[in-house]
């Protein structure tokens, strides 16, 4: 790559392999966004990464969409026992079952996890309208919510709850940064942060538990596990 008055840039090795498919579409003279990963290698070239630049741009775009609470159309790529799987700007994305709208989840609630998974497999290949629930920078993953992407107003549902309330719920998703719990007749979703867990809990999908509401902010409920 010609970096103008700066130097010549090169994409090779692992960075080349990761961007191989994108590079196939280019021709001489095309402009390309890349990130510098080394100012000068042993051959005097500036080492570049297309993937890093693309990922940085993707995170910035997602942060802006989350801030503006924008709707996003995403295609369901797969399913596991905790929720639906997607990709946004090549980043992995996850939607816990508890964050599905009542249009989809009401048909299977109360059933065994295996039955829920079997029913929701019908969504694979279809587009869902969602909002960003959380951005997990550490694990480079995006948490989505269909509830927030629909006309359902979570704020109205949360008027029935306040900080300090104890709720009974069911664990619907486990991540490195905490556990998602579905609670109440409204099937609301709350997050128990990993900071609230001591690592000794025997948590698993479908397990019933009690938790205390410690914060309600921006349509999100944060909980603390009751032992």
Ordered by start, the domain boundaries in the chain are: 1-68, 69-225
CATH architecture of 69-225: Beta Barrel (2.40)
Mean pLDDT of 71-94: 89
pLDDT for residue 207: 86
What CA–CA distance (Å, rounded) separates 84 from 98? Answer: 11
β pairing state of 127-136 and 141-145: antiparallel
What Cα–Cα distance (Å) separates residue 218 from each residue in 45, 133, 144? 47, 10, 15
- Comparing CA positions, the residue from 80, 65, 73 lying closest to residue 120 is 80
Are the CB atoms for 100 and 148 separated by under 8 Å? no
Q: Does the pLDDT of residue 151 top 60, yes or no?
A: no
pLDDT at 66 over 70: yes
- pLDDT recorded at residue 107: 47
Secondary structure letter of residue 147 according to DSSP: H
pTM for the full predicted model: 0.53
pLDDT higher than 70, residue 199: no
């Amino acid at each position: 790559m010609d970096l103008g008055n700066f130097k010549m840039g090169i994409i090779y090795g692992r960075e080349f392999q990761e961007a191989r498919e994108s590079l196939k579409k280019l021709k001489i003279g095309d402009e390309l966004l890349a990130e510098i990963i080394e100012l000068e290698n042993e051959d005097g070239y500036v080492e570049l990464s297309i993937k890093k630049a693309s990922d940085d741009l993707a995170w910035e775009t997602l942060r802006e969409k989350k801030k503006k609470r924008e709707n996003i159309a995403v295609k369901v790529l797969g399913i596991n026992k905790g929720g639906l799987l997607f990709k946004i700007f090549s980043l992995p994305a996850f939607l816990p079952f508890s964050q599905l709208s009542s249009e989809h989840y009401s048909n299977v609630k109360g059933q065994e996890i295996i039955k829920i998974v079997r029913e929701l497999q019908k969504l694979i290949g279809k587009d869902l309208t969602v909002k960003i629930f959380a951005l997990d920078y550490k694990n480079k993953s995006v948490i989505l919510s269909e509830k927030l992407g629909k006309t359902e107003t979570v704020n109205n549902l949360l008027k029935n709850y306040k900080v300090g309330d104890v709720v009974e719920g069911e664990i619907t998703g486990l991540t490195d940064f905490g556990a998602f719990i579905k609670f109440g007749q409204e099937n609301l979703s709350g997050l128990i942060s990993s900071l609230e867990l001591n690592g000794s809990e025997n948590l698993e999908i479908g397990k019933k538990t009690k938790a205390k509401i410690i914060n309600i902010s921006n349509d999100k409920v944060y909980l603390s596990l009751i032992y």
